[in-house]
Structure formats: C-alpha cells, structure tokens
Amino acid sequence: MTLVSNDPSWWPLINGTLISSYFIVAASAAVMYDWALTFAQEVELVWRQRWSLMTILYLCGRYLGIIYAVVIMLGVSPEIRRPAFQQSQRQRQGERGSSPAHWGQYNDHHSCFITYLISDWMGVVVEVSLGVIMITRLHAMYQRSRKVLILVVVIFLSVNITCGVIVAITMRYTSVEELILSGTYQCIIHFEGNAILHSMPWILGTVWEVLALCLAVCIALKHFRELRRQSSGGIMGDLFTVLMKTHVVYFASFVAVSCFQLSLLFPTISANPYSLEAQIYTGVSQVFMFVQMFVLGPRLILGVREYHAKIVADSDAATAMTSIVFQQRVHVSTSSSV
C-alpha cells in the first residue's frame, strides 16, 4: 500500500534517505570511473585473451557491479524514482478516473520489492564470484595442492550455502513500503526478524575472508623464507608480492565493510536508523562495499594479468614460469586465466 503524506513528522526520514542517496550515487560514480580508468587494460588483458573461468568471473564482478550500481541508484534516489512514480499514477488516474487522494489505495510496491530483490541476490552472486577468485589464487599459491583445494572448497561451500539459506529466510520477514512524502518518493525496507540473523551473512563472510588471508599469509611467509635462504628473489618472489599486496588491500576493505555492517546493530544506531548520523554511517559503509566488491574485486584479476604481461614483455624467460598460473597446465603468457 502506497502512503501519500505531507506530514512534517516525516521530514527526518526524507532528509536521512536523501543524504544516503548522495553516498550511493558517489559510490556508483566511483565504480563507473574505475571501469573507465581500467577499460584499456580490460580490452588488452581480458577481451583480447583466450577466455577462461577467470575471464567470466572478472566480467561478472565488473559488469554486474555496474548493473548493481544502476539498480541501487534507481531504488534509493528520490529524484530519479519520483518522476516514474508520478507518471505511473497519472496513467492510473486516467484509466480509473481516480484522484491523487486515492493513490494510496493501490498496491504499487511491486517495483520497489523487485528492485530490492534484484540488488540483494546480485550482491550474493558477486560475492560468490569473488570467493571463487580467492580459491583459485590460493590453489595456485599452494602449488595446486589437492588437500588445500578440498579444504577451501568445503569451507567456501558451507559458508555460502548457509548464507544463501539465511538470505532466503530473511526474505520472508522483509516487507517493502512505498511512500510519497512531501512530493518525494521513498522506498522503505522493513525487516521484522532477528537483527543478528540478518547480519549472519556478513559474519560468516568475515570468517571466510580471515581464513583466506591466513592461508595466503602462511604460504607467502614460507615462500619468502625459502627465497631468503636461496639469496634470490626473482620472478616468483615478485609474483607473490603482487598477490599479497592485492589480497591485503582487498581484505582491509572487506574488514572495514564488515565492521560498519556489524556496528549497525549497536542500539545508538539501530534505535533511530533515519537519523543524520545513522544515514552518514550507512552511506560510508555503502561506499566501502562498492569499492571492495566492484573495484578491488576485478582488480584482483587485472593486477596479476598485468604483472604477467609485463614479465612477458620484458623477458622471454617468463614463459618458463609454470608453477603459479591461473589456468590449467599451460605456460604463463598474457592469456593466463587471471
């Protein structure tokens, strides 16, 4: 049921959601800017190379991110959604002879709910893609160890199946309401279940990311110790450095997002979610999430492929490096699967 009201008591909600929409638009602009910034690399390192699993995962992370940003902007920006809603209502008025006073009698929340549904599950798909990228990196770093692969796959599947079930359960306790408040469009999501349950995907995701980082750090330290004993770094040492730098930056961003998400459970924030402070806090969280998923995620692949391309360009000997590549049993080249 759509509510139409000009009551001044709704103004804090209007101001709060307007501020939140500014952060969403800024985060979406950052995703678009990063895509434009790396498009030349993408053409050279992705589109012109032989396709592989990593190619598909890169395209999922990059272009689903752009679609996600557009969908979120449509869902949260009052200035974008209001004209479409008003046009829809004018059509209803012409068809039914109704007046604006009776707009609230019609159930127009379907588009709002569909937007929420698409954005929620699209985020799940991108998270799964990022997890597969991490598994591939760890498998390569551990010299294609079958035991490590089985361990990380089992943990990854357990975490993501559980998260999928939790998301499906929370959908049952989620309702969407459309509001026209003082001429602004508002799409409000209500979650009536346990707040801890709603945050469980982030908690489990944090556990997975911590495990992935620990495994990466352990093998990197072991490898650097071996290189020090041999008194030679070379290509392998440089590649591990690239892998660890991209991994640590990505992990730091994920930790920041998780801390923001879990902090939303604090009574000082959850008691008044539409206050100025809460909306700024949520907005900053959204910016970090967009950067972590849709900027740093694709760069996990681009960074390694760029390194491989540089090695190939600098030395013909780089094609002999086969111990750590992101494709099955082939020599390293610019067409490697990362």
Question: Could you give the CA distance from residue 163 to residue 127 in angstroms, rounded to a whole number?
Answer: 11
Flag the least confident range among 70-74, 141-145, 237-241, 317-321. Answer: 317-321
Pick the residue with more confidence: 267 or 233? 267
Question: Could you give the CA distance from residue 225 to residue 211 in angstroms, rounded to a whole number?
Answer: 21
* 94-103 average pLDDT score: 43
Q: Whole-model pTM above 0.85?
A: no
Residue 93: the pLDDT is 46
Q: Say whether pLDDT at 328 is over 50.
A: no
Reported as type and span, the H/E element at residue 186 is strand 184-191
Cα–Cα distances (Å) from 150 to 28, 106, 212, 214, 330, in that order, read: 36, 53, 13, 16, 22
Flag the least confident range among 35-44, 105-114, 227-236, 300-309. Answer: 105-114
Q: Which of 220, 191, 2, 185 is nearest to 105 (CA)?
A: 2
Q: Kindly list the domain boundaries of the chain, sorted by start residue.
A: 3-320
Question: Could you give the CA distance from residue 285 to residue 116 in angstroms, rounded to a whole number?
Answer: 18
Q: Which of 175, 156, 133 is nearest to 296 (CA)?
A: 133
Highest mean pLDDT among 42-51, 160-169, 196-205, 313-322: 42-51
Q: Say whether pLDDT at 308 is over 50.
A: yes
Question: Could you give the CA distance from residue 138 to residue 152 in angstroms, rounded to a whole number?
Answer: 8
The mean of the pLDDT values for the chain is 75
Flag the least confident range among 36-40, 170-174, 188-192. Answer: 188-192
Question: Could you give the CA distance from residue 212 to residue 317 in angstroms, rounded to a whole number?
Answer: 31
Question: Could you give the CA distance from residue 56 to residue 52 in angstroms, rounded to a whole number?
Answer: 7
Instruction: Tell the CATH topology of 3-320.
Output: Rhopdopsin 7-helix transmembrane proteins (1.20.1070)
Question: Could you give the CA distance from residue 174 to residue 228 in angstroms, rounded to a whole number?
Answer: 55
Label residue 75 by pLDDT band (50, 70, 90).
Answer: low
* 101-125 average pLDDT score: 63
Highest mean pLDDT among 11-20, 61-70, 114-123, 181-190: 61-70
